[in-house]
Chain A
Amino acid sequence: MRKIFLSIVFVMLAVAVMAQAKKPTIMVMPSDVYCARNGYTTEWVDENGTKNTVSDISNIFKQEDVEDLRLVISELSKIMAERGFPLKDLEQTLKSIQQESVEMSLLESSSSGAYVTESMLDKVLRTAKADIILDLDFSIMQKGPQRYISYNMRGLDAYTNKVIAANSGVGSPSTSAPINLLLEEAVLNYMDSFCAQLMAHFEDMSRNGREIVVKLKVWDNADVNFESEYDFEDDYLELTDIISYWMEDNTVNHAPTRTNATATNLTFEQVRIPLYRERNGRMSALDARGFVNGLRSYLKKEPFMIESKIYERGLGEVWIIIGEK
């Protein structure tokens, strides 16, 4: 009996130790201000004739004068890798996307000559993206004979758009130090404080769950919307309220914020989901899609019988479109 008890305790402990939350990907992106200041932008005219200027991230690493940016990204990558967070490299990701596009256009079935199906949405989604964006801006300033670095970096949650860490300031002025040394010093100076803020974010996540955004939409041919009424818990409630109750019951904080509620649109922010769930007797990591799968399944059952489609935007944002798949 004692052996059985000890075995159970050991298995439970092993499961607890093995369970790991899903690791967010982190990527350094030059900020729009940096791109505009250095001329890495492109212009286009929309259907209304309005001229728009956007950062030309896809071509930025083909420019000749990006050594400073590459140096800063390399230094940041080195520091984050030492901390157990290898960064997703923007330059390599852009190359990989271009290569994938070429391969996709050439790939065909050897038996029938069929091409791989790719929707317009798939093409749009094939962009450089990450769960946490390190929005980087720096410039080399001059004051008399002295040069110094102005540095600004923000860590942004790509889904909630919240700033989870930020650093800014100016480095020590120098008349003799080369620019690359000043840049390296700036990165070294700010990174410990930046990582401490990231750590605080992860500690908050471990205590209160991962924060995600859940958006619910309706297909235009659906015969239900969020104002449709159902007999629910001895009352007639609109689907909006029923879904809100489900969200409250299944979140860690039991208090997600409903920021938008119309007949065709429902948005929940500050949705704190558990990091793990039990599946097949073991704990596995839970992400936004895994969380709303529960809601999809709930809506499919009596009395609702609503079919819905899940559209995953990443680790921290997911949409459910009700009416059909």
Chain B
Amino acid sequence: MQEIIKLITMRNKFLQMFLLLVLSLMAYQANAQKDMQSDYYNYEVTSIGVGQDGTKILLVTVEAKKIDDGIELAKRNAIAACLFKGVEASGQTEKIPALVPQGITGENQEFFNDFLKLKDKKSGGKYLRFVTRTGNQKAEKNNKNYKVSLEVQVSYNALRDYMVSEGMAKSLNFLF
């Protein structure tokens, strides 16, 4: 009888440990996903040209576990760069100013979390309407991750007009 109780207790402990492990893994995964979702600043971005009709061509480099994730992240970060970081001048291209230089605040957090949510099978990807074209994709293995570079053409003027219409950015004639 005692042995049966001991076995049940051991099994319970094993179950408890297993559950703890599963929960920890889920929390880690959720945290990693959250970091990727909300990190609008930590990536490399350079301006490589201006296009007609108010478009900018950016080269974005990101790190991701899968190449496909990296490509999606690069598209999203190209938009995030135009919104929050701006893009420094390089070579023959002039600095691209941030459209929302104040960044994420309590007032706009909900809007941007929704707008910049990475595209998955069910939702997200609202930012993609301002990605005109992508090309010259490069990926190289870097430890456990892939370093993915992608040229992204962004409809900068359309993005600016959309942010102004949504009340997230100021129009140049806001005072007059």
Contacts and interface: CB of A to CB of B under 8 A. Distances in A.
A83 B171 contact: yes
B170 A199 contact: yes
B95 A202 contact: no
B128 interface: no
B92 A172 contact: yes
A216 B172 CA distance: 34
B94 A189 contact: yes
Contacts of A23: 173, 176
Contact of B172 (A170, A199, A205): A199
A21 B94 CA distance: 31
Interface string A145-176: 00000000000000000000001011110000
Interface string A168-208: 01111000000000001100111011011011001101100
A169 B94 CA distance: 8
Interface in B42-81: 49-50, 52, 54
A10 interface: no
B172 A85 contact: yes
A201 to B, nearest CB: 10
Interface string B77-102: 00000000000010111111100000
B132 interface: no
Contacts of A203: 170
A190 B95 CA distance: 8
A72 to B, nearest CB: 15
A20 B175 CA distance: 6
A183 to B, nearest CB: 13
A261 to B, nearest CB: 33
A246 B136 CA distance: 65
Chain A, interface size category, equals: 20 to 34
B157 A190 contact: no
A275 interface: yes
A234 interface: no
Interface in B128-155: none
Contacts, number: 59
A193 B173 contact: no
A16 B162 CA distance: 25
B86 to A, nearest CB: 8
Contacts of B97: 192-193, 195-196
B127 interface: no
Interface string A2-36: 00000000000000000011110000000000000
A206 B92 contact: no
Contact of B176 (A22, A170, A188): A22
A314 to B, nearest CB: 16
Given A188-B50, A189-B50, A192-B156, A170 B173 contact: no
A95 to B, nearest CB: 26
Given A169-B94, A188-B50, A84 B171 contact: yes
A192 B92 contact: no
B15 to A, nearest CB: 59
B96 A202 contact: no
A46 to B, nearest CB: 41
A255 to B, nearest CB: 22
B175 A83 contact: no
Contacts of A171: 92
A82 interface: yes
Contacts of B172: 83-85, 195, 198-199, 202
Contacts of A202: 172, 174-175
Contacts of B54: 188
Nearest to B156: A192
Nearest to A22: B176
24 contacts: A21-B175, A21-B176, A22-B176, A23-B176, A82-B157, A83-B171, A83-B173, A84-B176, A85-B172, A85-B173, A169-B92, A172-B49, A184-B52, A188-B50, A189-B50, A192-B94, A192-B96, A193-B94, A193-B96, A193-B97, A196-B97, A205-B175, A206-B174, A206-B175
Interface of B: 49-50, 52, 54, 89, 91-97, 156-157, 170-176
Given A84-B172, A172-B91, A189-B50, 11 more contacts: A21-B175, A83-B171, A169-B89, A171-B92, A172-B49, A184-B52, A189-B93, A192-B96, A199-B170, A202-B174, A206-B175
Query: Which 5 A-B residue pairs are closest in the complex by CB-CB distance?
Result: A84-B173, A196-B97, A23-B176, A83-B172, A172-B92
